[in-house]
Amino acid sequence: MPETSTAQPVSTRGFWRALKGNSMAMAGACIVALMFLMAGLAPFVGPSPEFIDVSLRLMPPGAAHWLGTDDLGRDVLARILYGARISLLVGFVAVGIATLIGILFGALAGYYGKAVDAVIMRFVDIMLCFPSFFLILAVIAFLEPSIWNIMIIIGLTGWMGVARLVRAEFLSLREREFVQAARSLGASDARIIFRHLLPNALSPVLVSATLGVGGAILTESALSFLGIGVQPPTPSWGNMLIAGKQTLGEAWWLSVFPGLAILVTVLGYNLLGEGIRDALDPRLKE
């Protein structure tokens, strides 16, 4: 029998059926959808996140301000909603950069093998020798802390796992009959890689990217908490946490609500990623 793709047409219906049957994955999908809804509604809900009214300083959660106000009288709910936009932007752009780089290097290593594979994988090994977070800290120390620098740096330091996944998939696929048939018909290397191999290797990449969004959001929050990420007055969950630290004893809501936003969002992406992995696992298909 001829070799078939690991991403067969039948897997589309089976994938959605398996995903919808996974209650934890659906919980993660609902959380992710809620985050998108929050980010989209941010301009239409409550006051501006930078509106200052010192007469409202450190008001606890109540009917007027559902999540309270900060030490400058700014509405915490509005700042969390705008912080969701920052977090989603960082997560998707950073993971997009990492995924593109990882696919390129992984495809080249897995398809050509031999010397190309050896050079690329040794470079991957060298990159993996450095703890990613400390590498990001070192790079940002020489650059201006901004959201764009953070997204690019997270992307440039997070592609190695994707490269390994794509390489492994290409190594298992490149000698199959559908690839040999394409070669015998005179297809170019680029066509074989991008038309025949890559679509069949994207399942683990999709899982990695979904999980990676949560990791990128967590990294951005940690950098902002340390003061080298998104800078005030732009609201970010990380810089809201560090601001709340100063008044933790008298205004618990300044730290609790941004911390919960980070926790729930990262949990949502992890649950969704695990659900996608289970739905794409051929051993779970009937």
* Per-residue confidence in pLDDT tens, the chain, 286 aa: 333 334 443 357 777 888 888 899 999 999 999 999 988 888 887 777 888 888 888 889 988 888 988 888 899 999 999 999 998 999 999 999 999 999 999 999 999 988 999 999 999 999 988 888 888 888 887 887 788 888 999 999 999 999 999 999 999 888 888 888 988 888 888 899 988 899 888 888 999 999 999 999 999 999 888 888 888 888 899 989 988 888 877 889 999 999 999 999 999 999 999 999 888 875 544 4
Q: In the chain, where does DSSP find H-type helix?
A: 10-20, 23-41, 76-112, 114-129, 132-140, 147-156, 160-173, 177-184, 189-191, 202-225, 237-245, 253-280
Taking the C-alpha atoms of residue 152 and residue 89, their distance in angstroms, rounded to an integer, is 12
How deeply is 176 buried, as exposed, middle or buried, from its count of CB atoms within 10 A (0-12, 13-18, 19+)? middle
Q: For residue 27, how many C-alpha atoms fall within 13 Å in the half-sphere facing its CB? A: 9
Is the CB of residue 225 less than 8 Å from the CB of residue 64?
Answer: no
The pTM (predicted TM-score) of the whole model is 0.87
Is the CB of residue 28 less than 8 Å from the CB of residue 269?
Answer: yes
Taking the C-alpha atoms of residue 36 and residue 64, their distance in angstroms, rounded to an integer, is 24
Taking the C-alpha atoms of residue 62 and residue 262, their distance in angstroms, rounded to an integer, is 22
pLDDT digits (tens, 9 = 90+) for 220-249: 999 888 888 888 888 899 989 988 888 877
Q: What is the pLDDT of residue 118?
A: 95
Tokens of 280: 């794409």
Q: What is the pLDDT of residue 210?
A: 93
Q: What is the pLDDT of residue 161?
A: 93
Which CATH architecture best describes the domain 11-47+75-284? Orthogonal Bundle (1.10)
Q: What is the pLDDT of residue 101?
A: 96
Which residue in 199, 257, 211, 267 sits closest to 74, CA to CA?
257
Q: What is the pLDDT of residue 5?
A: 38
Q: Is the dihedral of CA 222, 224, 230, 235 positive or negative?
A: positive
Tokens of 152: 């690019």
Q: For residue 127, how many C-alpha atoms fall within 13 Å in the half-sphere facing its CB? A: 18
